[in-house]
Amino acid sequence: MPNNFAQMYGEYLRDESRQVGNAESIVFPKTEEEIISSVKEMSRKNIQITTQGARTGLAASAVPFGGHIINLSRMNKVTAAKYDKENDRFFLKVQPGLLLTELRKFLVNKSFVTSDWDEDSIEALNYMGINRWFFATDPTETSASMGGIAACNASGAKSFRYGSARDHITGLRIVLADGDLLTIKRGQYIAKGKEFIMKTESGRIIKGQLPNYQMPNVKKNTSGYYNKEGMDMLDLFIGSDGTLGIISEIEIELSKVQAACWGITIFMPSEDKAIDLVRALRKEIIVDSIDLNLQPSAIEFFSHKALEMLRNQQKTNPAFSNIQEIKESYHTAVYIEIEKDSDEEIWSEVKKLGAVINSLGGNEDETWVANNPTNLEKLHEFRHACPECVNMQIDNIKKIDKTITKLGTDMSVPDNKLKEIINIYNEDIEKNNLQAVIFGHIGDNHLHVNIIPRNIEEYEKGKELFLKWAENVSHMGGAVSAEHGVGKLKAPFLEKMYNEEEIKEMRKLKKIFDPAQLLNRGTIFAYEEGEI
């Protein structure tokens, strides 16, 4: 009874992409066995399955379009811990429904629910010692689930230093489309050239060949399957958007928290000069022979229009009154976060940064420095204010026309194309007289362009521009999705990045693991019936 289903389980038909789908049934497994039994039943009946975590994704991966939903939110435990004494490395095994916020809470308090743990795991906790540990992937949305983070290879601001989720995942357990189980540890299955071979729990051998397409040469990429000759096969499943199997357990490696963490917002007199500063921070250019060794964890950008929007909101909206006054003279902002072993170590680099800012035509006095947790929180509020501000404006427009949704890009380009792509964005926005702000992870050349349409015509115009930009970015050797995943929403963008043959190769790869294409159908690429 689809109608009843929508009434009772309506919230499970959508995610943060604001797309709404439909389904006929849903289960909330608490164990891996329950996932397996549900998958076996659906496989027998040939019913498609959509997997869900916390439904915070922005690309509609978790939105079902018919069939059955397996919602993993009740598998939310940390199940084991491991300490590698020799190399001082710490690992945790977590269930896919565990929220990042919960994991962070456990780690800050060094306190876990250990009633189901084995002795070795409990023993391992003793080795956390005086060190503070954290999971280095920091997506803005902290209510994301660990399964979702693995499935879309999430990253976040600090990926400039720490990379994406891929770099911190050391093992997965995956329920395949027929209910068989695959356990993969990092280093266990390495492709020989393009040939790969794996063995399931039941002893079945999975053999196959990797596609021929080349991945873009960018730091951040979640556009389609990871593919490289001689790759670790674990990487195929990370970022595969739930299309190859259902993740039932994730082993993550933790990183050590450094004693000192500072944030600095730097206001530059133009977007061009802001980009020069970013290049100096990345050590692509040396300014006045100053040897700058800040090694920031994050480098973020706020366009001129983004600052203007925040400044206007600040005057009228009490929600943003906690943010320090953005002076009229502040044109463009770059935000960096630095972690080192001591405040002194950071300060000696920040002094050099001041000189670099001055040399680039900025002013070291036009900076906000946060060198303690309270002030750092203020700069985080400033950073989060940008997307919040956009969302508030979209919500207002939605009251007039509810078909209008947020238009936000998630594309990245190679280092040497950064200025070029920002120029294209700005020219197109101006030419079409659109209201738009640009902000995000400029360190990785990964900026979010957010268009705020004032009417349906502007919305349609914006959508057209997104396709054009996907084409521009693809020509530059960039990625159409850098951190949100392709999901269902960006499948048309992927077609700008890869040709028909290459998309076919991806579909072929999926069919090795999921011959009937039951899992997350329509995600990454469109569903096509029949054999290829």
The residues that touch other proteins, with contacts defined as CB under 8 A, are 264, 321-322, 324-325, 347, 350-351, 353-354, 357, 363-370, 372, 374-375, 378-379
Does residue 14 contact residue 55 with C-beta atoms inside 8 Å? yes
Nearest to 274 by CA among 300, 236, 256, 297: 300
Distance of closest approach, residue 217 Cβ to other proteins, in angstroms: 34
Specify the residue, 321 or 433, whose C-beta has the smaller distance to other proteins.
321
Q: Which two tokens stand for residue 136?
A: 């280095």
- The DSSP line for 468-527 is HHHHHHHHTT-BS-SSS--TTTTHHHHHHHS-HHHHHHHHHHHHHH-TT--BTTTSSS--
Q: Which is nearer to other proteins, 339 or 495 (CB)?
A: 339
Query: Does residue 64 contact residue 83 with C-beta atoms inside 8 Å?
Result: no
Q: How far apart are CA 108 and CA 88, in angstroms?
A: 19
Sign of CA dihedral 5, 6, 12, 14: positive
Rounded to a whole number of angstroms, the minimum distance from the CB of residue 262 to other proteins is 11
Closest CA to 99 of 49, 157, 56: 56
Task: Provide DSSP, 262-325.
Answer: EEEEEEESSHHHHHHHHHHHTTSS-STT-------SEEEEE-HHHHHHHHHHHHH-GGGTTSPP
The DSSP symbol for 140 reads S
Which CB, 145 or 367, lies closer to other proteins? Answer: 367
Please report how close the Cβ of residue 321 comes to other proteins at its closest, in angstroms: 7
* Residue 344 beta carbon to other proteins: minimum distance, rounded to whole angstroms: 11
In terms of CB distance, is 31 or 293 closer to other proteins?
293
Shortest distance in whole angstroms from residue 370 CB to other proteins:
6
Q: Residue 167 or residue 343: which is nearer to other proteins going by CB?
A: 343
Tell me whether residue 53 or residue 354 sits nearer to other proteins (CB atom). 354
Instruction: Give min distance, CB of 381 to other proteins, in A.
Output: 12
Residues with Cβ within 8 Å of residue 41, at least 6 apart in sequence: none
CA distance 439 to 301: 5
For other proteins, the closer CB: 213 or 347: 347
Nearest distance, CB of residue 28 and other proteins, angstroms: 23
Question: Which residues share a beta bridge with 206?
Answer: 198
Q: Closest separation between CB of residue 116 and other proteins, Å?
A: 24
* Pairing relationship of beta strands 446-451 and 205-209 according to DSSP bridges: unpaired
Residue 254 or 350: the one with the smaller Cβ distance to other proteins is: 350
> CB–CB of 447/485 below 8 Å?
no
- Provide the minimum distance between the beta carbon of 134 and other proteins in the complex, in angstroms, as a whole number: 20
Residue nearer to other proteins on the CB measure, 162 or 330: 330
